[in-house]
Structure 1
Amino acid sequence: TGLAVEALVFELWDLAPALRAATYEAPLYRGENALHIAIVKKAGERVVRALVESKEGPELLTQRADGEFFTAADQSGGTCHRLGEYPLAFAACASQPATFDLLVECKADLRARTSVGGHNLLHLMVLNAFRGDVDVAEG
């Protein structure tokens, strides 16, 4: 449940602070960090706020998830290659307006573009709107 995930995050917060800024390095999920995961898993505003307001926040906001899962349709069942690589785009494409607003408030880059196709937020939102009623956060 959401409360259990939140409790676990805050328990690990002090026990393993290095996890806050850790990113996947393997090719499939390269670049994905705790903020990306919190958004996709709908961890909630308290978790997202704690991440972006931490000393690691600026780095988390600008980290690009550009692994194969996020850039190639055949690796994610045709859904995650349209998430946009950056946490702000993940929030927009996963229909999480409160998280989107919080990330903008914390200076997320509204002009960021994807490494494949050069898509901006508007491109990604249009692409997601025309692919059907699939919730990208649920996959």
Structure 2
Amino acid sequence: DRRRDIMRDEAGVMAKFGVKPQSIPDYLAVLGDSADGFPGVRGWGEKAAALTLSRYPHLENIPKDWRDWHPSIGNARRLSTSLLLSWNDALLFRTLATLRFDAPVFDTIDDLRWKGPHPNFEGQCRAMGSPDLFSRAISATAAKASREN
């Protein structure tokens, strides 16, 4: 919990969310996360997410047929229908909620220094219909270079 500067172990995550840590991205996918700007799956609340994901840890483990869901999960038919209708969104939301440790990072602070637009930037600007963005980047680069000299 970044706001409260609290680190939770597995027992702490289970106590707060009702699911194991490895299920948190799936939990956030169905529940939504306003801090990260994704809505979740319609009709899924904290209780439904915790009950379902404590039984089936990941979205792919949840039976497609609601009749195969564990009887302790209420409104299985409605939840199943909602999840299946939003399946691709739920997978996207889970990806967005997953912390990545394999993202490329810089080696030194100098790697962050602006060196001008990337070689394919002009093509990207044209593809977005914003060729003026490229010319503004070139002008900014030239202005910066003249200030440094």
Same fold (TM over 0.5): no
Structure exhibiting the larger radius of gyration computed from Cα positions: 2
Greater length-normalized contact order (CA 8 Å, ≥ 6 residues apart):
1
TM-score normalised per structure 2: 0.26
Normalised TM-score (structure 1): 0.27
